[in-house]
Structure 1
Amino acid sequence: MKKHHIILVIILVSIKGFSQDVNGFFVKADAFFNSYVNDGKVAYSKIQNNQSGLNELMKMAETVSVSKEDAEVYQAFWINAYNLSVIKGIIDNYPTNSPLDNAGFFDKTTYRLAGKNITLNDIEHKLLRAQFNDARFHFVLVCGAVGCPPLINKAYMPNTLDAQMETQTKKAINGNFIRVNTKKKRVQASQIMEWYKADFTMDGTTEINFINQYRTEKLEGKYKLSYFQYDWRINKQ
């Protein structure tokens, strides 16, 4: 076992109430993402040629037990489970040009996870967004398309979850998620911000306020907001 993963085991085991099945899942997921994800892109061809690691992870995820009361473990598990299930869905239809090329990819295909038969939409909308008011989910749940914020090459971990979500949100807001024309005072955002407007305007805030919360170079003055078209091409290496 690599030194990196030995350290992860020690950290995870030390967390109070951390069950052994979840522990093993996080460690294996971390190794999987590290092996097959680079610069936000997934090596689908390599995974297809050797599916044992992915299948082992999906099998482990079937019997994991998590509770909303242990919010960090719960959220980290479901974020990783979502991202792995997207990869599984693409591999099951590979080669494919887009997740949208496969009927029911998000709302009909089910995965056996934590004792539930569940779709990708159920994970995102019912288990995460509906339970926790946090727009940052949109920057860590990766739908398998170029238009998504990039997938990281490690698992989301309970003890680092908040920092990881914060980092990915900042990267997106200061990266390709928005396009700014300071001269014309115009900003274009990913359609994610249009589709989930309510998530980015909670507590009376505005989309511009949300952007400025994470953007290094603030949008000063009155900016006109519009949205650019989502890129649904597969996020393959």
Structure 2
Amino acid sequence: MKTVLIFLFVSICSFAYSIEQKLDHSLWNELLEKHVDTKGNVDYKGFLNDRDELKKYLDHLSQNPPSENESKNARLAYYINAYNAFTVELILENYPVKSIKDIRNPWGQNFITLGNETISLNDIEHNILRKMNEPRIHFAINCASVSCPKLYNKAFTANQLEAQLDKVTRAFINSPENVISGNELGLSKIFKWYEKDYLVNGIQSLAHFVSQYTDVKINPNAKVHFLDYNWDLNENE
């Protein structure tokens, strides 16, 4: 019996280790640290010089899609990183460009191969990530624009995901993309576009959601309006 238990323990550990190795985001982490500053500004020219390395990471993602056996955090980290890395690739494919919106159908193009599927950025965001009941994904994925939540200069990983999502959410909510006071909230249009995603798990209003991530004491009945969105490329000049 003891031998059987030891065998099962080793098998479980080996299985967990194989998942960890399969979903390896270290190359993406190196590229981000090299070409994205702490403010989220992207050196696309630098990425162009390292495009072969980026393609290696994209190939790694394509060949190792997560299964349902993997943890929610592992799947979230994989698809957040995939969205961000393939967005960078889309910009590089069309570089130089002043805005992602200058690219034809940027979010609807089926240019992403993950496993046996060819999908779009929209598919990753709306058909996968948004269905995982984690509203903070909207502060982790980056649309290559000034008003987007900044591209985090580290890869998301399963074992650090909770802290990472908390960090990027707090950073965006307290950034100049939102103007927060006790009785009035000027919010990014991200909150308008995805409002229903935030009203889950007992959260009853945008003011309620935002209040979790700021030191400002917000009136539950605070007025809300939405700010203009800057679609200029988030490029490091």
**TM-score, with normalisation over the residues of structure 2?**
0.87
Deviation at 1:221, TM superposition (A): 5.7
Deviation at 1:101, TM superposition (A): 0.5
Q: Which residue of structure 2 lines up, in the alignment, with residue 6 of structure 1?
A: none
Code of the residue aligned with 1:66 in structure 2: it is P
Aligned counterparts of 1:198 and 1:105: Cα–Cα separation in 2 = 24
Q: Which has the larger displacement, 215-224 or 142-151?
A: 215-224
Q: What 5-or-longer segments of structure 2 have no aligned partner?
A: 1-13
Q: 1:115-130 counterparts in 2 under 5 A?
A: 115-130=116-131
Tell me the SS of whatever aligns to 1:82: helix
What is the aligned-residue identity percentage?
28
Aligned counterparts of 1:207 and 1:174: Cα–Cα separation in 2 = 14
Q: Indicate conservation of the 8 Å contact 1:66/1:114, yes or no.
A: no
Aligned counterparts of 2:167 and 2:20: Cα–Cα separation in 1 = 27
Q: Which residue of structure 2 lines up, in the alignment, with residue 28 of structure 1?
A: 27
1:198 aligns with 2:199: no
Deviations 1:136-167 (A, max 9, x none): 01000111111111111110011001110011
Q: Which residue of structure 1 lines up, in the alignment, with residue 172 of structure 2?
A: 172
Aligned counterparts of 1:187 and 1:83: Cα–Cα separation in 2 = 28
Tell me the SS of whatever aligns to 2:23: helix
Q: Which residue of structure 2 lines up, in the alignment, with residue 3 of structure 1?
A: none
Tell me the SS of whatever aligns to 2:107: coil
The 1:226–1:116 alpha-carbon spacing in structure 2 relative to 1, beyond 3 Å, is same
The 1:222–1:205 alpha-carbon spacing in structure 2 relative to 1, beyond 3 Å, is closer
Q: Which residue of structure 2 lines up, in the alignment, with residue 48 of structure 1?
A: 48
- Following TM superposition, the consecutive aligned residue runs of length 4 or more in structure 1 with deviations greater than 3 angstroms are 13-17
- CA-atom RMSD, angstroms? 1.8
When Rg is computed on C-alpha atoms for both structures, the one with the higher figure is: 2
Aligned counterparts of 2:112 and 2:194: Cα–Cα separation in 1 = 24
Q: Which residue of structure 2 lines up, in the alignment, with residue 154 of structure 1?
A: 154
Q: Number of residue pairs matched? A: 220
The 1:41–1:15 alpha-carbon spacing in structure 2 relative to 1, beyond 3 Å, is farther
